Amino acid sequence: MDYLCKSGRCGEARKLFDSMISLGQKPTVTTYNILLHGYATERYFHDMHCLIDLMAENGISPDHYVYNILIFAYAKEKRVGEVMHIFTKMRQQGFNPDAASYGTGINLLCSIGRMDDAVLQFNQMVTEGLAPDIIVFTTLLVVFVLVANGRRSMNYFLKC
């Protein structure tokens, strides 16, 4: 399934997935993640949500990876409302966003010019004890220099 999804052949992967179920094999969250990632890569949003519904019907709870797949998929399409909704849903399910989640969200917010929201996300990340990586710092710094006042950006990062 992984090979098929990575090759852009999600339809074939889904047939394999369905045949596994018909043969009595119960897919694990990892199996769902493979197919979900394939759908996300191909931007098959309807199929992603149908698969998540199927997970719930079969008693499989989404894991952290599921939420990150969704965040990344919607961020690629600049669908900030959906990304922020997934952050909320993640927390409701007892998961805290990780550095990858925050990095994707911050990058999205910067790419659409919502710098204040990006800084809020950055501050929330730090408050939760997550260390921003070089990608997060670079994203914020570049956008501040290009969009905002360069002095403001340097002062902000010198405080960190």
Contact yes or no for 139/122 (Cβ under 8 A): no
Tally of domains within the chain: 2
pLDDT score for 156: 58
Q: Which of 9, 34, 61 is the last residue of a domain?
A: 61
CA distance 160 to 153: 11
Q: Does the pLDDT value for residue 25 go beyond 70?
A: yes
Domain closes at, from 14, 37, 61: 61
Q: Which CATH number characterizes residue 103's domain?
A: 1.25.40.10
Residue range 86-141, pLDDT digits in tens: 999 999 999 989 989 999 999 999 888 888 899 899 999 999 999 888 888 888 77
Whether residue 122 is found in the same domain as residue 51: no
Q: What domain range is 54 assigned to?
A: 1-61
Which band of pLDDT confidence, cut at 50, 70 and 90, is reported for residue 147? low
- Mark whether 116 and 46 lie in a shared domain: no
Model-wide pTM > 0.85:
no
- 22 phi/psi in degrees, rounded to 5: -65, -25
